Each structure stands twice: as C-alpha cells, then as structure tokens.
C-alpha cells in the first residue's frame, strides 16, 4: 500500500515516512502544497496524510482541488490548530479523518489502517482469504494459524491483494502501489515475487488470471 505524506516540517515528514515504511507501507513525501497537490493528482496513492498549514498552497485548498478533480483517495489531515472551525473546514473540503498535533505516531498509523480498511470495504484489522490471515495492526501473516515470514515487498504485495480480496489486480496496478516514485519500476519483477509468495503461503489462494493480473480468492472460488 502506497501513502503520500504532505508536511512542511522536514523532521516530522521524515518521522512519518519512517514510521510508515517500518509498518510495511511505501511512502512518498512532499514539503509544500503545490508539490503535494501535483503528486496526489498524478500518482495512485492508497491514502494521503495532509498537513493543513502548508506553504505555497494550504492543505484545505489542496484537498478541495483533489476532490473537484474527482480524486477519491482517503485523506487524513494533520493540524496544529485546535479550533473546531479548522477541522470542519477540512472535513467540508473532503477529508476522511484528522489528527491534531502533537500526536502519537501509533495513532496516525491506526487511523491510516482504518482509512485503508474502510476504503476497501473491510470492517476489522484482520483480513482473511481462506486459511490466510493478515493482521494489519501487527503486520503479521498466518496460514492455518501458523505464522509465516515474508520480506517487506512480499508483505506489501500480499497486503495490497488482501485489501482487494476477490478482485483482479493488474500487474501495472501492483507496480504502481508497491514502489515509491523514485524506484526503477519493472512490472516483470512482480511475477517473481508472486511466485515466491505462493510458495511461502503454500495454499491455493493466489491466482493468476491470464491476460488480466492476479487475484486473492478462496480455494474453489477462483475465476
């Protein structure tokens, strides 16, 4: 899952990006509203963390532009302001949730997880597909109750497919959501990681849909 952090405080931006990467996400960053708007407008993010008090273009204006353009990406706004009117302005502009500074990083991560779950139609932090269970809160994967070890990229691949359980995800879409903007993307490598992931899971839930992509589907329900 790929997240954009738009925050002008360089230290806080770095802390957020580090926490997201450590939690198993891919994270891009922007330090002003103009750059943030451009990235959010041109790159396919799964969620965006957006500060309201940005230079060049403020966060509310950025969010309004995205929503007017039809962007539906879930947005968590950050604000140092404690006035209720600022929070209302953020929600009216199209925000999905907010956190007031100073905050605990775990709260931000929990709210990001909740945004991702809701946007994909999941009610709990545990995503399941047959015997495979992915605990998004603890970044753990079990198969038939036994924990399995995955590399960070294998985990991101599984997490994206599990969030879109039952849907066919193209190779191109996977590449766009598994790597950050600076990565030299090669869609052919996805096949390699899918193969490795299949072996580690050891159960028939990850299917190749010829000419279309991949799908996580319970055994016996593959298309």
Greater confidence, 128 or 221? 128
Residue 29 to residue 22: CA distance in whole angstroms: 15
Query: Taking Cα atoms as reference points, which of 173, 149, 152, 150 lies closest to residue 161?
Result: 173
Question: Which domain covers residue 151, as residue numbers?
Answer: 126-216
Domain containing 55 — which CATH number? Answer: 3.40.50.2300
pLDDT reading at 223 higher than 50: no
CB 5 within 8 A of CB 13: yes
Tally of domains in the chain = 2
The pLDDT score that the predictor gives to residue 137 is 87
pLDDT reported for residue 190:
84
Q: Both tokens of residue 12?
A: 């806080």
Judge contact between 128 and 197, C-beta under 8 A: no
104 and 135 in a single domain? The answer is no
Q: Convert the pLDDT of each residue in 132-188 to its tens digit.
A: 999 988 889 999 999 999 998 899 999 999 999 989 999 889 988 888 766 665 657
- What pLDDT shows up at residue 110? 95
Residues 64 and 162 both lie in one domain: no
Averaged pLDDT for residues 57-70 = 96
Whether 62 has a pLDDT exceeding 80, the answer reads yes
* pLDDT of 108 over the 70 cut: yes
The model carries a pTM of 0.83
* 93, 120, 147 - which closes a domain: 120
Q: Which helix H or strand E contains 27, and what residues bound it?
A: strand 26-30
Q: What is the pLDDT of residue 22?
A: 92
- The pLDDT assigned to 222 comes to 45
Which of 101, 120, 139 is the last residue before a domain boundary?
120
């Amino acid at each position: 899952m790929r997240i954009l952090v738009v925050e002008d405080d360089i230290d806080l931006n770095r802390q957020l990006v580090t926490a997201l990467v450590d939690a198993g996400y891919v994270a891009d960053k922007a330090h002003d509203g103009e750059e943030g708007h451009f990235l959010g407008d041109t790159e396919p993010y799964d969620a965006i963390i957006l500060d309201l008090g940005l230079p060049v273009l403020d966060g509310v204006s950025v969010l309004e532009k995205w929503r007017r353009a039809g962007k539906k990406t879930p947005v968590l706004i950050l604000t140092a302001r404690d006035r209720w009117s600022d929070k209302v302005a953020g929600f009216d502009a199209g925000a999905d949730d907010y956190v007031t500074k100073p905050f605990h990083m775990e709260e931000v991560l929990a709210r990001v997880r909740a945004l991702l779950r809701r946007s994909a139609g999941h009610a709990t932090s545990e995503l399941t597909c047959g015997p495979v269970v992915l605990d998004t809160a603890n970044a753990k994967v079990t198969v038939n109750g036994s924990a399995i070890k995955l590399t960070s990229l294998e985990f991101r691949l599984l997490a994206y497919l599990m969030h879109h359980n039952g849907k066919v995800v193209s190779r191109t879409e996977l590449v766009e959501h598994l790597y950050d903007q600076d990565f030299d993307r090669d869609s052919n490598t996805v096949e390699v990681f899918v193969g490795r992931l299949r072996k580690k899971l050891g159960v028939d839930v990850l299917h190749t849909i010829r000419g279309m992509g991949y799908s996580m589907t319970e055994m016996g329900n593959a298309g």
